[in-house]
Structure 1
């Protein structure tokens, strides 16, 4: 539906937020304003306390206002690291809920789905979660509906999985406000190849290969799907081969040709990537992480983790904690 009214969008930024997600939202809106010759969109940067916020790229941003001073917005998007928490959770979450009650559409980009889910405002809604955060999100919010699409629009909850998806979401907002023609022109301005909407799945990298999951042969895709569904209770490779309708030898040959790894090594990599998500973005002990990816002992997890990532899991966690802001939750080292 087209409108001549100004659409005011707020971006609530947390320390360590991904800067690309912010610019990917704002730049298309700015271009749309230029193309139509009027300010269809306006935007404000918001932080919890109104103070300067440093992005993950160590670039500082000066917000226009504190969250407590926000009066009315058409839309508000949270941008953050997955570990981000409000310093004053009760009042800040209460403010978000008040804005939602008064008609503000609430959304999140990339890691911003975590503090949004913690606020309670995603209850009963689907959310787009970046594939690299999916395991940590599912572990913390097991009852939430997690979408693997690049963007999710569920009633008045809008979420985008990452920076490129944020650009797509902005194009969607532009199309709704001033038409598909302007949205297409904006996309062409930035040489954005296509506007992706709901129903378009995220592309995931194939470990150790120059490909993505959607480029793989059916046999390999089906096997990976089974692996992904059984990270906590590992399957026997022979059982997987039987389920996808090939011999173990054939499965190994196709896997080696397309991913550069055997099915067993690839399966282990999937389990280690889930383990890394839980270690870096969760509050779990190494023992708890071991159980979550199907290991009876922490010793085996540590050995495999070090082989895959070249660093001990405790050192990996220490490294990421060094860059977290003081108000963010720091994961334990036990």
Structure 2
């Protein structure tokens, strides 16, 4: 497969005219935090390697940096050696991405924050992948911007940065800020950037190289459709399940949910028992406890604030519900959550 433009014929070139110079490669930096998601990083760097290969020309270069300057381990233990120091004020870069996973809310490095601000002042495009937007937000570089990040990090991020607009998309490209939800979405992001840099032919060639038969747009949803994720096709249940997921801070009443489904409360309870396998209350409670667990892991919110964000009257009520869930989990004969 070749996607090189046809070379000019000798008859069209003046003998005294020098061959056109190759364009300067775009340089992309990756700031890798300990525990960074390897899949997200690979999905971002590999398309550039493929572009170079397909064009038989170095149109992209990249470097790595890590806080502390030592080898940085990915979430699966694979280590990458940085080749640029955090704080380097003379490095070459057109775009710089922060790639983070785990609990980015707990990572605070003043030197890295200062460096990101310096890069922004230089006019370098800055991006965050997976949990990387946390670091940009902490540095004040997403103020007044729209951003996305991995759905797992969204609840804690929204609690910590309520003034930043978060969209649950694959990626967002907004002027000199780029944010990406991570995972395979990083491949779609890079394909879109390659198209902007070098045209759709190269982007399609790279996509085909990786057996990726559809380049997704940034606004595509992150998560699998509820019908597939939960295995439910009943439109009445789907309306209720979607409403539950988006109303955790102020849980909807059983009557309100039944009205959404356009059935009686008794009929809705039967739908949950027959199609989900647990009661409506048990499912809703499980969603709220899962959110509370996420906030404990990825934010510095107090127990009282977490309780408020997940629809519990106070921290004590949340603690009791969590304790009952743990006790229930120790019983091998059951997998549901009791009230």
TM-score range, shorter chain: 0.7 to 0.9
1:117 pairs with 2:137? yes
- Residue aligning to 1:54: 73
Q: Which of 12, 27, 34 lines up with 2:31 in the alignment? A: 12
- Residue aligning to 2:85: 66
- Residue aligning to 1:233: 250
Determine helix, strand or coil for the equivalent of 1:83: helix
- Residue aligning to 2:14: none
Where structure 2 has 5 or more consecutive residues not aligned to the other structure, the ranges are: 6-21, 330-339
Q: Which of 217, 235, 252 lines up with 1:197 in the alignment? A: 217
- Residue aligning to 1:184: 204
Q: Which of 292, 297, 302 lines up with 2:319 in the alignment? A: 302
Determine helix, strand or coil for the equivalent of 2:144: coil
- Asked if structure 2 preserves the Cα contact closer than 8 Å seen for 1:216 and 1:258, the reply is no
| Alpha-carbon displacement from aligned partner over 1:180-213 (angstroms, at most 9, x marks no partner) | 222222222222242111221111475xxx8227
With over 3 angstroms needed to count, the CA separation of the structure-2 counterparts of 1:276 and 1:220, relative to structure 1, is: same
- Asked if structure 1 preserves the Cα contact closer than 8 Å seen for 2:144 and 2:163, the reply is no
1:27 pairs with 2:46? yes
- Residue aligning to 2:163: 143
Query: How far 1:292 sits from its partner (Å)?
Result: 2.0
CA distance in 2 between counterparts of 1:215 and 1:185 reads 37
CA distance in 1 between counterparts of 2:81 and 2:107 reads 19
| Alpha-carbon displacement from aligned partner over 1:225-254 (angstroms, at most 9, x marks no partner) | 332343122221111211342322343344
Q: Which of 137, 148, 153 lines up with 2:173 in the alignment? A: 153
Query: How far 1:177 sits from its partner (Å)?
Result: 1.8
CA distance in 2 between counterparts of 1:40 and 1:307 reads 57
Between the two proteins, the alignment pairs up a number of residues equal to: 306
- Asked if structure 1 preserves the Cα contact closer than 8 Å seen for 2:113 and 2:135, the reply is no
- Residue aligning to 1:272: 289
- Residue aligning to 2:107: 85
Superposition CA RMSD, Å: 2.6
Determine helix, strand or coil for the equivalent of 2:61: strand
1:281 pairs with 2:303? no
Residues 38-53 of structure 1: matches in 2 within 5 Å?
38-53=57-72
> TM-score if structure 2 supplies the norm length?
0.82
With over 3 angstroms needed to count, the CA separation of the structure-2 counterparts of 1:201 and 1:309, relative to structure 1, is: farther
**Which of 15-24 and 188-197 deviates more?**
188-197
**Which of 33-42 and 264-273 deviates more?**
264-273
With over 3 angstroms needed to count, the CA separation of the structure-2 counterparts of 1:191 and 1:250, relative to structure 1, is: farther
With over 3 angstroms needed to count, the CA separation of the structure-2 counterparts of 1:69 and 1:133, relative to structure 1, is: same
Determine helix, strand or coil for the equivalent of 1:211: helix
Determine helix, strand or coil for the equivalent of 2:117: helix
- Asked if structure 1 preserves the Cα contact closer than 8 Å seen for 2:106 and 2:298, the reply is no
- Residue aligning to 2:154: 134
> TM-score if structure 1 supplies the norm length?
0.83
**Which of 77-86 and 111-120 deviates more?**
77-86
- Asked if structure 2 preserves the Cα contact closer than 8 Å seen for 1:46 and 1:67, the reply is yes
1:108 pairs with 2:128? yes
| Alpha-carbon displacement from aligned partner over 1:254-289 (angstroms, at most 9, x marks no partner) | 444554443322211221121011110011233332
Query: How far 1:34 sits from its partner (Å)?
Result: 0.3
| Alpha-carbon displacement from aligned partner over 1:284-309 (angstroms, at most 9, x marks no partner) | 23333223212224444234335657
Determine helix, strand or coil for the equivalent of 2:105: coil
